[in-house]
């Protein structure tokens, strides 16, 4: 079944225009309801906000409110332009002073959450970068889209990381609508000792057969190496891939999320859209 609702998280520019266009392209392809959740930038995250005093404080507050209103209006105008006369339904939301848990609910009420680049790649701290790891605990797949990724470049060539684990299984199931529409899918298995002990001499063959039964043109690649994340990124570069699909390994700890090795490597370096599930 195709996804029937998507949520795209936006924030003050730069960077969200292409993400919004990408989400609209997916909504159009799937005839899905598109929810755009704009997350405002609180004053506490503004540079030098804690140093203003006296008349400077009033001027700083006025500048902050004016900039915030301009950014919000610009994002809303972009959303209205993309949604106007489209074949899919849509709605606009504004998230102000919501915690990670509240933002997580926006993701839980949709089939797929679309976010910006990983927090490790951002130059500034934002509410979304603070909440990103909590959103990963929402139970919904997350699609991270680089700021400069073309909005109309969808998943023609997709690299899928497979290690036989629960997270990778969930990611493949969540990505099936994308995989089915792809021109080619490369199922990449890193043949370490654990994977070979579980799956014998042909790890990944059963999953490749599973995907083929869904009409997916899949190529099984068995690679050797110690760094699965680096290998996946290398295959994305070589194939000029449009998307990477993989399980997100890690565990929550209070308000943050501690990622496993391959996941941490990918989030620190990836420059293509990456769909992750837990």
CA angle 159, 165, 103 (to 5 degrees): 75
Count of H-run helices and E-run strands, the chain: 9, 12
H or E segment to which residue 44 belongs: none
Prediction pTM value: 0.86
C-alpha 23/C-alpha 1 separation (Å) is 18
CATH superfamily of 157-277: HUPs (3.40.50.620)
pLDDT at 253 (0 to 100): 44
CATH 3.40.50.620 segments of the chain? 5-144, 157-277
Question: Which of 265, 18, 9 has its CA nearest to residue 140?
Answer: 9
Tokens 């490597």 belong to residue: 265
pLDDT at 20: 94
Tokens read off for 142:
């997350």
pLDDT, position 259: 44
Decide: 166 and 248 in contact? Cβ < 8 Å. Answer: no
Phi-psi region of 17 (alpha: psi -120 to 50; beta: other; left: phi over 0): alpha
* DSSP tag of 123: S
**What is d(CA 108, CA 137) in angstroms, rounded to the nearest whole number?**
10
Residue-level pLDDT at 79 = 93
pLDDT of res. 199: 67
The CATH code belonging to domain 5-144 is 3.40.50.620
| Per-residue confidence (pLDDT) for residue 171, from 0 to 100 | 95
- Along the 278 residues of the chain, how does pLDDT read in single tens digits? 899 999 999 988 767 889 999 999 999 999 999 999 998 876 655 555 555 555 666 666 777 778 778 888 889 999 999 888 788 999 999 988 777 778 888 999 999 999 888 765 666 656 556 456 656 778 899 999 998 899 999 879 999 999 888 889 999 999 999 999 999 999 999 866 565 556 667 888 999 999 999 999 999 999 887 788 889 999 999 999 999 999 887 544 433 444 457 777 888 887 899 999 98
């Amino acid at each position: 079944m195709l996804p029937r609702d998507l949520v795209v998280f936006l924030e003050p520019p730069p960077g969200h225009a292409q993400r919004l266009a990408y989400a609209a392209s997916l909504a159009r392809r799937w005839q899905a309801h598109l929810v755009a959740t704009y997350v405002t930038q609180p004053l506490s995250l503004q540079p030098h906000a804690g140093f203003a005093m006296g008349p400077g404080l009033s001027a700083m507050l006025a500048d902050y409110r004016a900039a915030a209103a301009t950014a919000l209006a610009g994002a809303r105008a972009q959303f209205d332009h993309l949604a106007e006369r489209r074949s899919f339904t849509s709605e606009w939301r504004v998230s102000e002073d919501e915690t990670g848990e509240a933002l997580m609910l926006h993701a839980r009420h949709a089939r797929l959450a679309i976010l910006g680049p990983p927090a490790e790649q951002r130059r500034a701290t934002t509410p979304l970068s603070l909440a990103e790891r909590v959103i990963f605990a929402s139970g919904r797949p997350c699609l991270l889209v680089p700021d400069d990724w073309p909005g109309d470049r969808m998943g023609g060539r997709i690299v899928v990381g497979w290690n036989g684990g629960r997270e990778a299984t969930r990611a493949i199931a969540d990505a099936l609508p994308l995989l089915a529409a792809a021109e080619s899918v490369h199922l990449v298995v890193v043949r370490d000792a654990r994977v070979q002990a579980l799956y014998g001499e042909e790890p990944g063959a059963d999953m490749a057969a599973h995907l083929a039964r869904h009409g997916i043109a899949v190529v099984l690649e068995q690679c050797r190496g110690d760094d699965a994340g680096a290998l996946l990124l290398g295959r994305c570069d070589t194939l000029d891939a449009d998307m990477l699909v993989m399980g997100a390994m890690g565990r929550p700890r209070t308000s943050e999320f501690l990622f496993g090795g391959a996941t941490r490597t990918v989030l620190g370096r990836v420059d293509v859209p990456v769909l992750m599930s837990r």
